[in-house]
Amino acid sequence: MGRLDEAFIQAPEHRPITHLTNSGDFIFSDEIPTIDLSSLQDPNYDKTTIATEVGKACERWGFFQVINHGLPLDLRRRVENTAAEFFNLTAEEKRRLRRDEVNPMGYHDEEHTKNVRDWKEIFDFFLQDPTIVPATPEPEDTDKRELTNQWPQHPADFREICQEYAREVEKLAFKILELISISLGLPGDLLSGYFQEQTSILRFNHYPPCPNPELALGVGRHKDGGALTVLAQDSVGGLQVGRRSDGEWIPVKPIPDALIINIGNCMQVWTNDKYWSAEHRVVVNTSKERFSVPFFFFPSHETNIEPLEELLSEENPPCYKKCNWGKFFVSRNRSDFKKLEVEDIQIDHFKA
Ligand code: OGA
Ligand code: NI
């Protein structure tokens, strides 16, 4: 790309210190919890022990990794390979699938976060394909009608692999949702009702090597807007999390075959700030391209996002106003999760 285009340059206070050692590898911190889910495979296992661990991680970090999560590893390999193959298509082929003003699904290489361009290209699709699920007939509901998945012709099995992976990662997301409910002292299925006609998205991220990693970011600092995110990252590293206690940027260590879970804004609102939607960002480097596959677990359109009544009390009054997810999701200006007092919770992901 030659000299770094101005659009990518971060303001000095947001430029990364890239945690590089002499060998060029990132230094990783072990502080972010890793949780072993293997005992969930035993149907007689009491889930409260794992749920407690999950709850602590959601509270302190809003981020954790899971191992022995049950997502088939061969499927993960296939989806990673197909994503790499997809990004290897010519720019012209990818641009044919380019998202536009009305349809946010497909290919995109001009993502901006907080008005600075991200050093990456992406591909997005809805899990519940709006071309299969009939759109609502009301003529005023234009935003919904125009959403449709776009699929490339190559790789030939791209769509099939994507959808198979999406089904598996969705199953894991429901398991995590159950653990989170239990961790809050609520019935395990309390939250799952909000996801019957979910608006979830699977994304492929490709971060090419960058000539000036000290000036740009793969993704600028942001919070994820949905309930939670399940992220598969490769072995390169670059994801950093703002620590809840002091805002320090902590790198997330790549653990082979682990998946990263992070809490999104909906969950922070439901739990009335008990659980934390952490700011995170991605640093890039000069030599290695990086791939990641986030699954954004989003509730149904009709879901109202507000603090759960079961968690409120005189000592814990609601800190957020009610907000309808569907309206929020299709609105161009996504900053609707309003604190009743203090500042707005900033949401700039999926700004459509
Ligand atoms: C995102 C994101 C992190 C990563 O796509 O929202 O935060 O490691 N990605 O790619
Ligand atoms: Ni994110």
Nearest ligand to the CA atom of 218: 1
Residues 274, 59: contact at Cβ < 8 Å?
Answer: yes
Residue 81: in which H helix or E strand, if any?
A: helix 73-87
CA nearest neighbour of 328 among 311, 345, 343, 316? 345
Whether residue 25 has pLDDT greater than 80: no
**Is 239 touching ligand 1 by the criterion CB < 6 Å?**
yes
Query: For atom 8 of ligand 1, which residue has the closest CA?
Result: 239
The predicted structure's pLDDT at residue 135: 46
> Using CA atoms, how far apart are residues 332 and 352, in angstroms rounded to an integer?
6
Output the residue whose Cα is nearest ligand 1's atom 5.
294
> Which numbered ligand comes closest to the C-alpha of 251?
1
Q: For residue 224, which atom of ligand 1 is closest to its CA?
A: 6
Band (pLDDT 50/70/90 cuts) for residue 341 is low
Query: What's the CATH number for 6-350?
Result: 2.60.120.330
Residues 258-317: pLDDT tens digits? 999 999 999 999 999 999 999 999 999 999 999 999 999 999 989 999 999 999 999 999
Per-residue confidence band for 350, with pLDDT thresholds at 50, 70 and 90: very low
Amino acid symbol at 43: P
Band (137; pLDDT cuts 50, 70, 90): very low
**Is beta strand 34-36 parallel, antiparallel or unpaired with respect to 249-251?**
unpaired
Distance 266 CA to ligand 2 centre (A): 14
pLDDT, tens digit (0-9, with 9 covering 90-100), for 95-107: 999 988 778 899 9
Q: From 114, 124, 210, 229, give the residue whose CB has the most ligand 1 atoms within 8 Å, as the site to mutate.
A: 229
Give Cα 277 to chain centroid, integer Å: 11
Ligand 1 atom nearest to 203, measured from its CA: 5
Q: How far is the CA of 203 from the centre of ligand 2 (A)?
A: 10
State the distance from the centre of ligand 2 to the C-alpha of 42, rounded, in angstroms.
32
Residues with CB under 5 A from ligand 2 (ion): 224
Q: Which residues of 134-173 are buried (b: 16+ CB within 10 A; e: fewer)?
A: eeeeeeeeebbebbbbbbbeebeebbebbeebbebbbebb
Contact 183, 308 (CB under 8 A): no
* Cis amide bond preceding 155, omega within 30: yes
pLDDT band at residue 213 under the 50/70/90 scheme: very high
Q: Is the pLDDT of residue 238 over 90?
A: yes
- Residue 147's pLDDT band, with cuts at 50, 70 and 90, is confident
Question: What's the sign of the alpha-carbon dihedral 325, 329, 330, 336?
Answer: positive
Q: Can you tell me whether residue 187 is helix, strand or coil?
A: coil
For 11-20, 75-84, 120-129, which range has the lowest pLDDT when averaged over its residues? 11-20
Residues 32, 221: Cα–Cα separation, whole Å: 18
Which pTM value belongs to this model? 0.90
Q: What was the pLDDT predicted at 342?
A: 42
User: Residue 223, Cβ neighbours under 10 Å: how many?
Assistant: 21
Using the predicted structure, report yes or no on whether residue 124 has a pLDDT greater than 80.
yes
Res 27: pLDDT? 63
Closest-CA residue to 123 (of 146, 96, 141, 145): 96
User: Is residue 139 over pLDDT 50?
Assistant: no
Ligand 1 pocket check for 265: Cβ under 6 Å: no
In residues, how long is the chain?
Answer: 352
More confident residue, 47 or 327: 47
The reply to whether ligand 1 has any atom less than 6 angstroms from the CB of 294 is: yes
- CA–centroid distance, 269 to ligand 2, in Å, is 17
Name the token pair of 160: 């099939």
Number of Cβ atoms within 10 Å of the Cβ of 46: 10
Whether the Cβ atoms of residue 299 and residue 313 lie closer than 8 Å to each other: no
Residue 130 has a pLDDT of 64
- Looking up tokens 């994304």 gives 203
Cα separation, 124 vs 96, in Å, equals: 14
How do the domains of the chain map onto residue ranges? 6-350
Q: Which atom of ligand 1 is nearest to the CA of 233?
A: 8
Which ligand is in closest contact with the Cα of 234?
A: 1
| Atom 6 of ligand 1, nearest CA residue | 224
What is the b/e burial string over 57-89, where b = at least 16 CB atoms within 10 angstroms of the residue's CB? bbbbbbbbbbeebebeeeebebbbebbeebbeb
Provide the β-strand partners of residue 229.
262, 296
Note the pLDDT tens digit of each residue in 38-88.
999 998 999 999 999 999 999 999 999 999 999 999 999 999 999 999 999
Q: How many CA atoms lie within 13 A of 329 on its CB side?
A: 27
Mean pLDDT of the chain: 88
Ligand 1 centroid from CA 223, angstroms: 10
Q: Which of 338, 334, 337 is nearest to 350 (CA)?
A: 334
Residue 164 Cα to ligand 2 midpoint, Å, equals: 22
- State if residue 205 touches ligand 1 by the CB under 6 angstroms criterion: yes
Assess whether the C-beta atom of 113 lies below 6 angstroms from ligand 1.
no
d(CA 349, CA 200): 13
